[in-house]
Amino acid sequence: MDSRAASGPAVVELHRVCVDREGERVLEDVDLVVHRGDFLGIIGPNGAGKTTLLRVILGLVRPSRGSVRLFGSDLRSFRGWSRVGYVPQRSMPYEGRLPATVREVVLSGRVGRVGMGRRFTKSDEEAAERALGIVGMERYRDRPVARLSAGQQQRVQIARALATEPELLILDEPTVGVDVEAQEQFYGLLHRLNREGVTLVLVSHDIGVVAREVTRLACLNRRLFFHGSPQEALRSGALEQLYPEGSWLVAHRH
């Protein structure tokens, strides 16, 4: 473990976490610690349990065994969800019939703070505007989200998560359907957020890109095979163990 990752307090702690689904073990004895300031990428083949792992951290899936802690508190009693932002997997673009504007979508990220059915305050609106500014989408605030490009829509989703003013941002396959230029801008944004103190946990299928961008890498295929620097993952043979067919080599040569 590098000194940078070990220098901050633990934000996420998983100890011997197992998840069973319909009689099948999806995650087995996962031990993982994410420190404040980390930019962690989680990679693994399809069906490896990556999204399930994120959902465990978010309290959306209850482990069959093991413990989870966020910011030092047991997940079962954790109440600081405003400290956590989540960008879920983007399964399809917004359809044309969705009337919501960019501002409305981003402002909806404040619901967790104000409560369902309550009016947004001036401070909520200011938080939404700050989030739009961070992702460079403030001039699109009144545009229907359905009229944006895939890359712009993804920025709106990140702004929605940032509107909660999180200390931990969790992203599940955030670049699916986003072109190469938009991906470069997207990772530039994530690096800026990370430098400003946001801890990042990112799941991606794009092995080569993730290995170049993150500061920490976790290799998962039901079990956690590796957790360390991307450079050490290459030296240790962790990627060959995770992808024995060698497909990661093609991605990493770019």
Domain definitions of the chain by residue range: 3-252
Q: Are strands 24-35 and 65-70 parallel, antiparallel or unpaired?
A: unpaired
Task: Give, for 236, the enclosing helix (H) or strand (E).
Answer: helix 230-236
> Could you tell me the two tokens for 113?
């703070």
Evaluate whether the domain defined by 3-252 bears CATH number 3.40.830.10.
no
Q: Using one digit for the tens of pLDDT, what is the confidence trace for 65-99? A: 999 999 999 999 998 888 999 988 764 445 455 67
Cα-based distances in Å from 106 to 74, 82, 135, 175: 29, 15, 11, 19
Query: Considering only 45-59, 61-75, 118-132, which range has the smallest mean pLDDT?
Result: 118-132
- C-alpha 239/C-alpha 192 separation (Å) is 27
- C-alpha 231/C-alpha 91 separation (Å) is 31
pLDDT above 90: residue 149: no
Amino acid present at 139: R
Mean pLDDT within 1-15: 70
CB 207, CB 173: distance < 8 Å: no
